[in-house]
C-alpha cells in the first residue's frame, strides 16, 4: 500500500482525461492521473503510482532506481504487483 | 564485519560512513529517528546500522499506517463488514491486522464478504457492479494514500453513486511527530523525514521541528545511499549547531508538495478533534474524517459504529516500539509468541513494521544479534 511503483505512461484514455494506461514491470494497467492535473505527464514520461493514483512525476533514472529498490523488497512488491494486476480501474 | 545484504554502491556507502564518523563529537551519543516504515525496511534489509559508528542509534518511528491502527477501529470495521448487504473492501496490508476478534482474513474465512483491493477505485467498481449491496472501503494510511481516497469520494459524488462509502481512518504524520517530540521517554537529535508522505505535504510542515524544537530534519529517499546521505546531512547540521529542514529527495519531493492532492483532501475531509493511535494513545487533531458535505459517503454516518476502545494485548509492546523507546527485539514476545505468521501486534504485520522488518532481515546480522544480546 505504501509502496510507490514506477510506471511509464503509454497513453491517455479517450474521453477520460483523468485515466492513463501505464506500463509497470511489463504489465499494462489503467491508473488515475488526476492528482497531477496541474502538470500532466505525457506519454513516455514516468510516474510514481500509489494505490492506483500517480502521485508524482519522476525521471527514467529515478524510475529504474525505484524499481531496483522494489525488486529488492521481494514478497511485498510481488503482492503489490499481483494486486495491481487484478486491479481494473475505470 | 559482515553486511546483511551487500548493495551495489557499498563502496560509496563506506565512504559516506567514514565522513559521518568524522562528524561525531567524542563522547556524544546521537539518536536519529526515521519516521517512515519504508526507511526502516531499507535500514534493516541493508544492515545500514552496521555502517554507522556506535555513537549513532537509529530509532524507528510511527510511520507505518497499518501499525498505528488501534484494535477498536479494527473491531469497528469488522462490525461494519457484518452489517446486512455490506461488502467490505480493504488493502491487502490491512487483512492480517488483528482486532480483538481476529483479523479481516479470519472474518472472511467465517463467511463475511471482505474483498482485497489494490485501489479505492476498485472498491468503486465493485459498488457499480453490485447496486443491491453497500460497499465500504476501509480507508487507511497517512497523507500518501489520503488523496486517493479523497479523489475516489469526489468521483463517487460526481457519479452520484448511492451505495459506496468509506470508513475513514486516515492519519496525519505531523501530530504524531509532535507527540513524540513532547514525550518525556525519548530524547532525539534529528529526524530522517518521510519520502512519499512529503510528495503530498511538501517540506514546510516540518519547519516547526527545526524552529521550535531545534532539531534538524532531512527528507530522505528510500535507497540505502539516500538514507546514509541524509544521516550525513543531519550530522553535518548537528556538528554546526544548526537545525533546518533539508530535502535530500528533491528528485521526487517538491518543496511545496502536491497542491492538487492537498486540495482534494481539504475538500472532502477535515481534522478530527482527536484520534487513538495504537501504542501512542489519543493524539489531538491527528486524523481525518469525512466532511459533512460528503456525509452520504461516510460509513460512520450511515451505520452505527460501536466505537469501543479496546486495550492492546498485555504482552504486546508495539507502543514502545512505535515511539522508538524499545527496539523490536526488546519486546517480550518478539519472535516467540509474535511472528509475521501469527502477529500479536501490528508492528509484526506489515513489511514496513519495525518488528517484521527486523524479523526478516535484522536477525541475520551478527552485529545486531550481538547488540541484542547486550540489551
Q: For chain B, positions 55-94, list CB contacts with chain A under 8 A.
A: 64-66, 91-94
Residue B9 has pLDDT above 80, yes or no: no
For the stretch B74-93, pLDDT in tens is: 999 999 999 999 999 999 98
For the stretch B214-267, pLDDT in tens is: 999 999 998 899 999 999 999 999 999 999 999 999 999 999 999 999 999 999
B374 or B312: which carries more pLDDT confidence?
A: B312
Closest approach of chain A CAs to the CA of B91, in angstroms?
A: 7
Minimal-distance CA residue of chain B relative to A54: B148
Q: Does A39 touch chain B (CB under 8 A)?
A: no
For the stretch B145-197, pLDDT in tens is: 999 999 999 999 999 999 999 999 999 999 999 999 998 877 899 999 999 99
Query: Closest partner residue to A69 among B119, B223, B251, by Cβ?
Result: B223
Using the beta-carbon criterion (under 8 Å), do A51 and B91 form an inter-chain contact?
yes
Q: Does B112 touch chain A (CB under 8 A)?
A: no
B204 or B329: which carries more pLDDT confidence?
A: B204
Is the complex ipTM more than 0.95?
no
Using the beta-carbon criterion (under 8 Å), do A73 and B351 form an inter-chain contact?
yes
A36 or A72: which carries more pLDDT confidence?
A: A36
Q: In chain A, what residues touch B222 (CB-CB under 8 Å)?
A: 66, 69
Strands (E) located in A4-90: 5-13, 16-24, 27-32, 46-50, 53-58
Using the beta-carbon criterion (under 8 Å), do A87 and B144 form an inter-chain contact?
no
Q: In chain A, what residues touch B92 (CB-CB under 8 Å)?
A: 1, 79-80, 83
Distance CA(B250)–CA(B203), nearest Å, equals 10
pLDDT for position B362 = 64
The answer to whether A85 touches B119, Cβ cutoff 8 Å, is no
Q: What is the mean pLDDT of chain B?
A: 90
What would the mean pLDDT of B44-68 be, rounded to a whole number? 89
Closest approach of chain B CAs to the CA of A58, in angstroms?
A: 6
Using the beta-carbon criterion (under 8 Å), do A52 and B91 form an inter-chain contact?
no
Residue B357 has pLDDT above 90, yes or no: no
Distance CA(A34)–CA(A13), nearest Å, equals 13
pLDDT for position B1 = 34
For the stretch B223-234, pLDDT in tens is: 899 999 999 999
Quick one: what percent of chain B has pLDDT higher than 70? 94
H, E, C per residue of chain B: CCCCCCCCCHHHHHHHHHHHHHHCCCCCCEEEEEEEHHHHHHHHHCCHHHHCCCCEEEEEEEECCCCCCCHHHHHHHHHHHCCCCEEEEECHHHCCCCEECECHHHHHHCCCCEEECCCHHHHHHHHHHCCCCEEEEEEEECCCCHHHHHHHHHHHHHHCCCCEEEEEEEECHHHHHHHHHHCCCCCCCEEEECCHHHHHHCCHHHHHHHHHCCCCEEECCCCHHHHHHHHHHHHHHHHCCCCCEEECCCCCCCCCCCHHHHHHHHHHEEECCEEEECCCEEEECCEEEECHHHHHHEHHHHCCCCCCCCCCCCCCCHHHHHCCCCCHHHCCCECCCECCCCCCCHHHCCCCCHHHHHHHCHHHCHHHHHHHHHC
pLDDT for position B115 = 97
Q: In chain B, what residues touch A75 (CB-CB under 8 Å)?
A: 351
Residue B374 has pLDDT above 80, yes or no: no
For the stretch B13-46, pLDDT in tens is: 899 999 999 999 999 999 999 999 889 988 988 8
Using the beta-carbon criterion (under 8 Å), do A83 and B117 form an inter-chain contact?
yes
For the stretch B92-148, pLDDT in tens is: 989 989 899 899 999 999 999 999 999 999 999 999 999 999 999 999 999 999 999
Q: Does B144 touch chain A (CB under 8 A)?
A: yes
Q: In chain B, what residues touch A48 (CB-CB under 8 Å)?
A: 196, 199, 252
Amino acid at each position: 500500500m505504501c509502496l510507490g511503483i514506477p510506471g511509464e505512461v503509454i497513453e491517455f484514455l479517450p474521453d477520460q482525461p483523468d485515466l492513463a494506461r501505464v506500463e509497470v514491470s511489463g504489465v499494462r494497467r489503467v491508473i488515475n492521473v488526476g492528482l497531477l492535473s496541474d502538470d500532466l505527464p505525457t506519454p513516455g514520461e514516468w510516474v510514481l503510482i500509489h494505490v492506483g493514483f500517480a502521485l508524482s512525476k519522476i525521471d527514467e533514472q529515478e524510475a529504474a532506481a525505484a524499481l531496483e529498490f522494489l525488486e529488492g523488497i521481494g514478497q511485498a512488491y510481488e503482492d503489490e504487483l499481483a494486486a495491481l494486476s487484478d486491479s481494473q480501474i475505470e | 564485519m559482515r553486511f546483511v545484504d551487500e548493495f551495489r554502491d557499498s563502496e560509496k556507502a563506506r565512504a559516506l560512513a567514514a565522513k559521518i564518523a568524522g562528524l561525531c563529537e567524542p563522547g556524544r551519543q546521537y539518536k536519529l529517528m526515521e519516521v517512515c516504515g519504508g526507511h526502516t525496511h531499507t535500514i534493516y534489509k541493508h544492515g545500514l546500522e552496521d555502517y554507522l559508528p556506535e555513537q549513532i542509534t537509529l530509532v524507528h518511528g510511527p510511520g507505518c499506517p497499518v501499525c498505528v491502527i488501534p484494535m477498536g477501529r479494527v473491531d469497528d470495521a469488522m462490525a461494519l463488514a457484518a452489517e446486512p448487504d455490506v461488502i467490505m473492501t480493504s488493502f491487502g496490508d490491512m487483512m492480517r491486522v488483528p482486532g480483538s476478534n481476529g483479523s479481516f482474513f479470519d472474518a472472511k474465512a467465517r463467511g463475511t464478504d471482505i474483498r482485497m483491493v489494490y485501489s479505492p477505485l476498485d472498491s468503486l467498481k465493485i459498488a457499480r457492479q453490485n447496486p443491491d449491496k453497500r460497499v465500504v472501503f476501509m480507508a487507511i494510511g497517512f497523507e500518501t494514500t489520503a488523496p486517493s481516497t479523497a479523489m475516489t469520494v469526489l468521483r463517487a459524488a460526481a457519479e452520484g453513486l448511492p451505495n459506496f462509502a468509506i470508513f475513514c481512518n486516515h492519519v496525519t504524520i505531523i501530530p504524531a511527530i509532535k507527540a513524540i517530540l513532547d514525550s518525556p521517554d525519548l530524547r532525539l537529535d534529528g529526524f530522517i523525514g518521510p519520502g512519499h508522505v512529503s510528495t503530498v505535504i511538501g517540506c514546510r510542515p516540518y519547519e516547526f521541528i527545526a524552529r521550535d524544537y531545534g532539531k534538524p530534519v532531512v527528507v530522505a529517499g528510500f535507497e540505502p545511499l539516500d538514507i546514509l546521505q541524509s544521516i550525513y546531512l543531519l550530522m553535518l547540521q548537528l556538528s554546526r549547531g544548526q537545525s533546518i529542514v533539508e530535502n535530500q529527495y528533491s528528485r521526487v519531493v517538491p518543496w511545496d508538495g502536491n497542491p492538487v492532492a492537498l486540495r482534494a483532501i481539504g475538500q472532502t475531509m477535515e481534522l478530527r478533534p482527536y484520534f487513538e493511535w495504537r501504542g501512542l494513545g489519543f493524539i489531538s487533531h491527528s486524523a481525518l474524517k469525512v466532511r459533512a458535505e460528503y456525509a452520504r459517503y461516510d460509513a460512520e454516518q450511515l451505520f452505527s459504529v460501536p466505537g469501543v476502545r479496546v486495550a492492546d494485548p498485555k504482552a504486546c509492546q508495539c507502543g514502545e516500539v512505535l515511539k522508538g523507546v524499545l527496539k523490536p527485539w526488546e519486546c517480550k514476545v518478539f519472535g516467540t509468541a509474535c511472528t509475521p505468521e501469527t502477529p500479536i501486534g501490528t508492528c509484526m504485520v506489515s513489511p514496513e513494521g519495525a518488528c517484521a522488518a527486523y524479523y526478516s532481515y535484522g536477525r541475520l546480522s551478527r552485529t545486531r544479534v550481538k547488540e541484542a544480546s547486550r540489551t
